Amino acid sequence: MLLVAQTGFVAALLLAVIAVSHSARGQGRRQDDRLVIFAANLGFVHLFSAMAALSSYGLWPRLMWIAAGLTPVTASAFLRSLVGSADRGAVQTGRFPAALFALVTVVLSLTPWLVEGGLIPTLLGGLLLGLHTYLIDMIRKAAQVADSPISQARLRLLWAGAGLCMGLTALDLATGRQLIGLATISQVLYTGLLSASLLRERLLDLQDLIARGLIFGLLVLILTALYGVLVFPFYQEGETFLFATLVCSAILLLLINPMTRSIENLIMRLMLADTQVLTEACYTARDRIRRSVQAREMMDSVVVALMENGTVTRVAIYLTGPMGLSFNLKASGGPSPQATLEVRDFPEFYSQLRGDQASLSRSGIQRQLSRRAEWIGPINAETDPEIAHLKALEEGLTKAGADLLLPVSSQGQVLGLLSVGDDRRPEGFTRTEAAALSALAGRLGIGISNTQHMEQLRFRDRLAALGEMSAGLAHEIRNPLGSIQGAVQMLEDELPLDDEQQELFEIITKEIRHLSSVVQGFLDYSRPLKVQPEPVLPAEFLAACAQVLAGTPVIEVSQSVETAWIDRDRILQVLRNLVNNAREADPEREPTISCHDSSLGTVIEVIDQGPGIPDEQRAKLFTPFFTTKDRGTGLGLAICQQITKAHGGRLDLLANPGGGTIARITLPKPRDGQGAGASLESPSKESPST
């Protein structure tokens, strides 16, 4: 009787903890409230049972039977709210038998028949088990007609747990409570399972929780058994018992780690086999990345590791395109997703990825959509900005063919995307799987970053060697060009030339000048650039530039613009090149030169309304010797960029929303302690131009 009382008190305490915890953590739904009532009802049954085992006072058995008689009523109410509309009519049929049984139990508890024992308590106990079995069968019927696979799986899990609990209870009663409280323990564990099923929206998380609970329970049972076997023979021998306890503790400490790993692997293989396989595949892919030295080899190894053995059904790896305006497909397995993901098509999608650098889960987004729509109602959901944002994220996942999309990043910079999908998983991936895939994406990002860095170093070494060779070659070309030009001019002056010969000499002279310009531009680009910045007033500087630049460009300067810190002649050189480009793009209209302040510094923009720059050319504009002009050197924009970088600023070529191009120069603000009122002179007309 003492064991029954102890078990009852512990069960009552645990059920009270479950009820209070669920009341605090629940979402205030009807099923949450009814679960709290059911847990409290079951707790009172065990509390009064424990008191009846310890006391001969007849009140406690009566209270126990009253509480037990109410359990079908509270269980039926909870089940009706749990299954929702699925087979609700069938579940409703349990209300009348449960209410009738509760009434009969309360009436009989007022008589001496239940307290004195005999046939009536046995019959009443059998009816109680039968009524609970009938209610449990309602869960099975509801699972058969549930509207989604996830709901079906959840209800089947709860039905299996309830059936096991009822079987242990019946076996315990049939054996005269000789199973050391297994029935009571199973009831408490099942109530905890019900609470977890309501608090955890994903069945995968619930399965993971059950697996962890089984691991803990098995370890406790095994350790208890080992202690019993090793220590029990010495329990009456004082010093020997203490020595045996110390020896057994040392043995168990040595066994605990391998035993824990073995049990974890066993439970994971039995309950979470897919999780185990996917996690091992991620470890395999990470090892292959470490052994690879090329980005392509790394990406292929990730795809092969995840696709082999049917771990997932879709894998895709994207890398950022030129200027970070798109993601381009580089490796894939399974059905091929969209080859290019443009940032402009899904701005919310990429803003979330680049801002939080966290994974996006389709199932998580769908749950947020469902909760949001349920909270604000179907009418407001049509115009709700949060729902529109979530739908845009879901659409981006669809384009990428992803159930789980992870940024491939390194040092805070997103280098690409890892898209993983599995048509066999309606709930997506478990937390353990998502963590393993996230670690894999991080390792891939580090590997790709390292390979890109190595390629940049090799490219710089090649450029440095080529630059040294080309600079010497340019010097060797410039001197003979000067001699050729001088000789041509002497011949032109001394020889009598007809019109055709004169035209040929002009062609020679023109080509020599063009070649000299290319050589000079290359020498300017290859030699170290030094700037001598000083504080200037942008309004006065641009007004003076307008006098030097051909034509009449429109000058617009914000009144709030502050002093800029620039090298006048160098920035004039940049403006001359940009203005000439703008006039060539739109010969009929003068470009606009505007100036304003921003958080990054002083911004000078040269704006035209020409045809704009094609996307395929935009990434190459600052590459030396790349030009779209018939007589261009391909060094003008490269030198302009070099000058702005020497100022600590940047040069960007942007699409003008009204048509054309915006060439934006961003220059840093003056350093602290430097003047803002320097006098300005007109720039020299002989300033170099590119």
For the domain covering 2-199, report its CATH number: 1.20.1070
Q: Convert 618-655 to b/e letters by CB count within 10 Å (16 or more is b).
A: beebbebeebeeeebbbbbbbbbbbbbeebebebebee
Concatenated DSSP letters of 80-113: HHHHTTTTHHHHHTTHHHHHHHHHHHHHHHTSSH
Architecture of domain 534-667: 2-Layer Sandwich (3.30)
Lowest mean pLDDT among 307-321, 451-465, 671-685: 671-685
Of residues 605 and 112, more confidently modeled: 605
Residue 388: the pLDDT is 83
Q: What is the mean pLDDT of the segment spanning 368-387?
A: 77
Q: Which of 554, 643, 542, 552 is nearest to 592 (CA)?
A: 554
Class of domain 293-445: alpha beta
Q: Which long-range contacts (CB under 8 A, 24 or more apart) does 599-603 make?
A: 600/666, 600/668, 601/564, 601/649, 601/666, 601/667, 601/668, 601/669, 602/538, 602/561, 602/562, 602/564, 602/666, 602/667, 602/668, 602/669, 603/664, 603/665, 603/666, 603/667
Look up residue 26 and give its DSSP letter. Answer: S
Q: Chain-wide mean pLDDT for the chain? A: 79
CB atoms within 10 A of CB 73: 21
Confidence of residue 629 (pLDDT cuts 50, 70, 90): low
Residue 236 has pLDDT above 50, yes or no: yes
Q: What is the mean pLDDT of the segment spanning 72-77?
A: 90
Q: What is the mean pLDDT of the segment spanning 422-436?
A: 78
Residue 107 has pLDDT above 60, yes or no: yes
Quick: pLDDT tens for 408-421.
888 878 888 999 98
Q: What is the mean pLDDT of the segment spanning 290-312?
A: 87
Confidence of residue 677 (pLDDT cuts 50, 70, 90): very low
Percent of the chain whose pLDDT exceeds 90: 7
Residue 37 has pLDDT above 90, yes or no: yes
Alpha helical stretches, state H, 272-377: 273-290, 295-307, 347-356, 362-376
Residue 440: the pLDDT is 92
Residue 513: the pLDDT is 75
The pTM assigned to this predicted structure is 0.50
Determine contact, residues 451/429, Cβ cutoff 8 Å.
no
Residue 284 has pLDDT above 50, yes or no: yes
Determine contact, residues 141/69, Cβ cutoff 8 Å.
no
Residue 444: the pLDDT is 92
